[in-house]
Amino acid sequence: MKSKSSFKLSIQLDICGDKELPELSAHLFSASEKPVATAEVSNNKVNFELPEQYNGQQLKLAIAPKANQSGQSLSLKQITRNNGYVNRLTALKNRKAITISIPDYIIPIWCFCLVRGKLVTQKTTPDDQNIELPVCNARVHICEVDKFRFIIPTLPDDIVFRLRDDLIDLLKNPPTPIDPDIPDPIPDPPIPEPPIPTPSFARAANLSRVNTNSFSSNLSLTNHSISQPVIQLQQAHSAAMIRQQLLDRSDLLKLFLCRLNYLWYFFRKDCLTTVETDDQGYFSAIIAYDCDDKPDIYIWAEQLQESGWQTIYKPSVACNTHWNYQCGDLLTINAPDAEGCEQPDYDIPEGVVLFVLPHSIGHAPIYGNTGSSAPRGWVRTDGMLDYHDTLGDINNAPFGGRLVFRQDDSYFIPNSGVKYYRYSFRRQGDSEWTPIQTPLARAYRMEYDDGSLPTYESYLVGPQTVGAQSALYEFKPVSPPVNADDPDSVVAREWLRGNLGEAAAIWNTEAIAPAISSTNPDDTSGVFEVKIEVFDESGNHVPEGSDSFRFLLQDPASSTVRYTNADEVIDGNFIMKVHVDNNHVASSLPQPDIDGVAASDECGFLRYDAGDNVRIRYHASHPNDHAVFRFGVKRGSIHLASASTLSPYVETASPIAPTPTGNYSQSSNYYQRHFAVSDLVGECVNAAFAAHLNVYGKATNGRERLGIHSGNLIAFALAETETES
């Protein structure tokens, strides 16, 4: 590292007035608002030590109350948002102290707030285990949302009257919580917002807790405390009176803002600072706020993934702001789209130094071929997977889509003898292998000693050609490489994730086994073999052995991983099976009929006579029966169990579809059953029905079931045949 020269910049503050001031700090920012230096104000004087590069540059000087937590700095946006003093100056070497006059009344009295949180991703593994992984080295943006006292005076009169009426209605009839996982529309232009979606209760457990979703605890109001604001709002007839009432009821408005979607456009958020999560997902920052209020905090986050920086958490401001945040409280933020920082939880056998451990496909651990059955959630010996899903326990599921293979390896790999690896596949029974060649890179961060923010780089590990071998990937080095064009100010380089948080290979199975279609009439699904080979620094093949390295596999019965056996390592390479099926499902739900005649009169009724039977039929299929289905019938608003299939689902391979009172049986590729009219209409003479069919493909990528689905919804009505009088 080259030594860097610096110079001193002194500033004398001439603060006019006799106002009692807090301890002050001074902050210098570049023209682009990059932090340059921070110093305490002592006896109205500030001394900065600046790198030579800033000599002659224009900088922004900000004077603000001193933050009481060490090691924390304020952004220029925070200072300006809270009316801190900002001025421009030119930094010159060998210049006498610059004198700046500041009236004391423009120096605000601030409070400082420690915002703490933990960014996690909550997952359900294929064996139905709920896990919570930290999201490390992510960018967390900490924002403050505009106060109601700033918003309400700006609302148009028609919105003010509408808001009064809606608030009265909400106070009289408090709603049930709604799903807060709505994309953030703020501060987009004023366009009609979509209706708030129906709650997704199955997913609610994985959502981060938000204040607006706790009506039972936050809205613990007595009848009197509800009736008082209702009466006062009802008595306010002018826009001015209503605005004042709304200002007085701002705490109630915060509880209902998630439902008042026409207000969302009027809110603005200022993102005050950006911080990084540590290796456990924790983050913290100091923000300034008005001492007469409490900060309203909104958070969104990004993560560097394979395709670049991706937004992993950015829900709606209205439904996910932490109103009146209690400084210092730990906020747990669940980002379902994030890659968790998974760390090994197993021990390595004694004496093993160099190893490669095929770990998983997605979240499904690789079981290998031990001669015994794999536990649920593990990749089976035959390449299929039994896993748990929102549908229930799914059995005999194939893989499909984009498969992410993960592996672990020794700290001492790479070295000259073990430096590269390669994944290949072939259809079972074929002789030729095809290498997997999706480009992969490892992300790392560089930190600097000149006040610059960290930067993020990527190191391409493959595919590359070494010697006579192509499609090789380099095992990730112990430390990120030093590049010739790296600046001298770099003081640290570190990888962003461990081995289990990165892809060892990515296989797009749809390219080799696409679904049956008009352009692909053949069924290309089936069992494939996947091979892992290892090579030295010259591209020579290195077979597994005690004198080179060992292939290891996880053992569900032990915390120590196991050695592979002769059925798993062939010619020094690890080989496993993966059953691939990307085929689509099919469904059809025709109108019910009586003696082959469906609803045909001009009113759309299916007319019946006494003693008639109604045939209900439907089609649910998959080319290889790797699918399940559900069929249900409702009469009016009542679920008609006698005509609906049993929970949780029926396999398309099944010749029957059971209900509590009998079975639908397959005939000519349709499940069908005849019902006495009285079994459907019950005590009604005429009745309206809805029938719905959903067929779901079982295929998974090891993380979740793929979106292979087909569904039908019909309505029909049974009416007694009218007789002429």
Q: How far apart are CA 244 and CA 246, in angstroms?
A: 5
Query: 214 with 293, same domain?
Result: yes
Between CA 423 and CA 428 the distance in angstroms is 16
* Residues 421/475, Cβ–Cβ less than 8 Å: yes
| Bond before 174 cis per omega within 30 degrees | no
Question: Does the global pTM surpass 0.85?
Answer: no
Place of tokens 């030579």: 52
Pairing outcome for strands 392-397 and 385-389: antiparallel
Supply the CATH number for residue 81's domain: 2.60.40.1120
Residue range 592-650, pLDDT digits in tens: 999 888 876 667 789 999 999 999 999 999 999 999 999 999 999 999 999 999 999 99
Contact by Cβ (8 Å): 76, 62: yes
In a domain, 318, yes or no: yes
Among 6-10, 227-231, 718-722, the range scoring the smallest mean pLDDT is 227-231
Q: Is the pLDDT of residue 493 over 90?
A: yes
The answer to whether 344 and 410 have CB atoms below 8 angstroms apart is: no
* Residues 406 and 555 grouped into a single domain: yes
Together in a domain, 455 and 385: yes
- Residue 351 pLDDT > 80, yes or no? yes
CA dist 17 → 13, 20, 62 (Å): 12, 9, 19
Are 684 and 543 members of one domain? Answer: no
Overall domain count for the chain: 4
244 by DSSP, 3-state: which? helix
621, 715: one domain? yes
β-strands 355-361, 550-553: how paired? parallel
On whether the CB atoms of residues 627 and 695 are closer than 8 A, the answer is: yes
Check residues 583 and 58 and name the one with the higher pLDDT. 583
- Does residue 340 sit within a domain? no
Domain assignment present for residue 645? The answer is yes
* 720, pLDDT greater than 70: yes
Under the banding of pLDDT at 50, 70 and 90, the label for residue 376 is very high
Assess whether 563 and 610 both reside in one domain.
no
Quick one: which of 663, 693, 658 has its CA closest to 587?
693
Which residue bears the tokens 């194939």?
398
Q: Is the pLDDT of residue 33 over 50?
A: yes
The overall average pLDDT reported for the chain is: 86
Q: Please, are residues 528 and 578 in contact by the beta-carbon 8 Å criterion?
A: yes
Task: Give the domain range for residue 209.
Answer: 115-334
Q: Which of 334, 366, 390 is the last residue of a domain?
A: 334
Q: Cβ distance 12 to 55 under 8 Å? A: no
The beta-strand segments (E) located in 126-204 are: 130-134, 139-145
**Residue corresponding to tokens 């030594």:** 3
Q: Say if residue 424's pLDDT is above 90.
A: yes
**Is the domain of 678 the same as that of 553?**
no
- pLDDT tens-digit profile of 65-101? 877 655 456 788 888 877 778 889 999 988 888 888 8
Alpha-carbon span 574 to 382, nearest angstrom: 15
pLDDT at 208: 34
Q: Which residues contact 427 (CB under 8 A, 6 or more apart)?
A: 526, 527, 528, 529
pLDDT band at 258 (very low <50, low <70, confident <90, very high): confident
First to last CA, the chain: 106
**If you average pLDDT over residues 337-361, what whole number do you get?**
93
With respect to residue 725, please indicate whether it lies within any of the assigned structural domains. no
Same domain, 464 and 545: yes
Share of the chain above pLDDT 70, in %: 89
Encoded tokens for 671: 């499940």
Radius of gyration, CA atoms only, the chain: 33
